Amino acid sequence: MTSVLKRRGVLSLAAAAWALPSLRAHAARAPIRLAHIHSRSGPLQSYGQQTSIGLAMGLEYATGGSLQVAGRPLVLTEADDEGRPERGQALLEQAYADGADLAIGPTSSAVALALLPVAQAQRKLLLVEPAVADIITGERWNRYIFRTARNSSQDAIANAIVLDHEGLHLATLAQDSPFGRSGVAAFRAALRKAEIVHEEYVDTGRVPDVGAIAQRLIERLRGRTGRKVVWILWAGDDPPFALADHFKRHGIELATVGNTLGAMVQFNRMPGMQGAAYYYYAFSRNTVNLWLVTQHFLRYGSPPDMFTAGGFAAAMAIVSALRATQGDTDPERLVAAMEGLRFETPKGWMQFRAEDHQALQSMYHFRVSSGAFPGSIPDLKLVREIPPAEIDLPIRNRRKTG
């Protein structure tokens, strides 16, 4: 500013007094640039597409349709990382170089790990949604990272609350990925009464041999007295729930986390199965979720899915933070505003924990109804909401300053 207002080497106070209000007015009207990096293709494309829809609907709802905050229009650009870490990293670097004030994404935890150091190096915010691996707000965290998505431990602890009983013998089945391994580790750590007798991991690059997997899990659980359960943790639209057919005659049950509506269609084959879910469209009765469910039915002819709700939550967090700063996008002001920020979402209220910027949130204990038809939308019944106070979520990062 000094160079603009200098005249023959002398700063003109009169010029400064005239220019400052004009510059402030221009800044107030300048767009706030948001970059959404997610998987519109690749193995998690359905997750990324849901997040994109939810983010757009959330920005609409949070701004009352104006798509402005403090007089500044919100401009959203989207890019497809294809589920590839190196591509996601390049896209985020380019987005920041092009003037993005804040980035949202990515879909995959593996991609997220490539993005974290970019946000730190550029000293700009990355709001992680929906990648869930604990390490994102754990050992690899930096102060420019916030996450509205639940993390693996929130999934795991909520499911442990549902399943943890004396005399229960568990085997786990997950993908060999940051999501799968961190989720099982958190699940094991949260159990106090049940015993895990085996962990099975599947190569994400191969189609799982369901028969061979079933035989290994049956062998590990054979001879155990009491209740026997295989807990499945799976990302993608094709979880191996056909295992249920192999297990029935051996007295082995399946249990799993909530998933997308498409993946949970197979739940209808397992009436009475219980678990814990991040979101199901019929559970929350707050005003935000009623708007989302109604509008999603009107626009798309279907209920919103879990990652739609996640994108919506990210939008609510962004607008709440920008209102707190009165539209100021300075990263340091945003960090200060977002630490401890409480904001409403389709799930109810969330709050960013100051220590690691993880959004604390409710989870839902569900039971599969016995009245659903095979191939239809899964019919889940809410047993109870598990509030954040019951989810003893560890802080796994070392607080960093940069």
Question: Is the pLDDT reported for residue 169 higher than 90?
Answer: yes
Measured distance CA(331)–CA(102) in Å, rounded: 8
Share of the chain above pLDDT 90, in %: 77
From its phi and psi, is residue 244 left (phi > 0), alpha (psi between -120 and 50) or beta?
A: alpha
Whether the CB-CB separation of 312 and 61 falls below 8 Å is answered with yes
Whether the CB-CB separation of 19 and 5 falls below 8 Å is answered with yes
Question: Is the pLDDT reported for residue 156 higher than 60?
Answer: yes
SS3 of 26-61: HHHHCCEEEEEEECCCCCCHHHHHHHHHHHHHHHHH
How high is the pLDDT of residue 27?
Answer: 54
How high is the pLDDT of residue 9?
Answer: 37
Q: Which domains does the chain have, with CATH numbers?
A: 31-150+284-361 (3.40.50.2300), 153-277+364-390 (3.40.50.2300)
How high is the pLDDT of residue 10?
Answer: 35
Confidence of residue 223 (pLDDT cuts 50, 70, 90): confident
Sequence-ordered list of residues with C-beta below 8 angstroms from that of 153, at least 6 positions apart, any chain: 134, 182, 186, 190, 393, 394
Tell how far CA 165 is from the center of its chain: 28
Measured distance CA(21)–CA(40) in Å, rounded: 43
Whether the CB-CB separation of 299 and 291 falls below 8 Å is answered with no
239-258 per-position pLDDT tens digit = 888 888 888 889 999 999 99
How high is the pLDDT of residue 48?
Answer: 97
Question: Is the pLDDT reported for residue 70 higher than 70?
Answer: yes
